[in-house]
Amino acid sequence: MEKVGIIGVGLMGHGIAMNIAKSGREVSFLDHPGNQPTDDLTTLGARAIGTGADIAKLCDVIIICVTGTPQVEDVLNCEGGVLAGISPGTVVIDCSTAIPNSTLEIAKQIEAAGGHFLDAPMTRTPKEAAEGRLNLIVGGDKALFDAQLPLFETYAENVTYVGGVGAGHTMKLIHNYVSLGFSAVLSEAAATADKAGIDPLALLDVLQNGGGRSVVLDRFTPFLTDGDPSGLAFSLSNAAKDISYYQAMSDYLEMAGNVSFAVAGVYADTEAKGEGNRYVPELISLLK
């Protein structure tokens, strides 16, 4: 089986790494202060490696799971980065949320170095990552996708091939725009209901039995009933970043993007107020 390198063992990447290690594959990961605790990984035989270049020299497949486009570019091009150690035939899989036209340039860099590239961003939460139940949206060469499908299935429940290089990141931004757009609408509606004296249970009952029924509403429910935001453990700063990426893509495609301006403003305001580390359901409280 492939030797797999993981760059970015954060909330999502840790679950990915754990499930790949449990599959019996040899796992190496970049030793980085932003990682989650990794004792459980090393117990399974995974190795901490000092640089991306060294990971590239050791591994057949490299999975990058970082915040966004600038971080991916840095992982590849920094001193001791992946491109300094990549070998012909190495497969690089980018699981981050990224700007698609940048993804095309990144793919060209990797291919020029003799490697192969797939963009495979994910949806769902750290809970599903730990359980090996992520959703993956994959772009790239179809034959390469087919070859990597057994690896994807070690950490994902649903794997959808959506087209050529960049299509995965495009579809991820569309997905997140829909999800975070509804989150903004729901937050404002819930804050309005609270100010109007509507019981949260009544609000949930009406929405769940009507047009508001959705996965987002399900994830907001623990906050509406018990003040627990962990149902959607995604920070407001990451939400602002993803909407800004969607807008960049929309501009590149010459779309009007009128609704996205309002959605972007909601999340940008939370960052301006220093609330970016709070989770998305907490937006309800911030809008009251």
Query: How far is it, in rounded angstroms, from Cα 203 to Cα 199?
Result: 6
Distance CA 286, CA 188 (A): 9
CB 44 within 8 Å of CB 20: no
CA distance 31 to 93: 19
State yes or no: is 57 an active-site residue: no
CB-based burial label for 66 (10 Å; 0-12, 13-18, 19+): buried
Strands 91-94 and 116-119: parallel
What's the Rg (C-alpha) of the chain? 20
Please tell me which residue in 172, 241, 273, 288 is annotated as part of the active site. Answer: 172
- Number of other CB atoms surrounding residue 256 within 10 Å: 8
Active site residues: 172
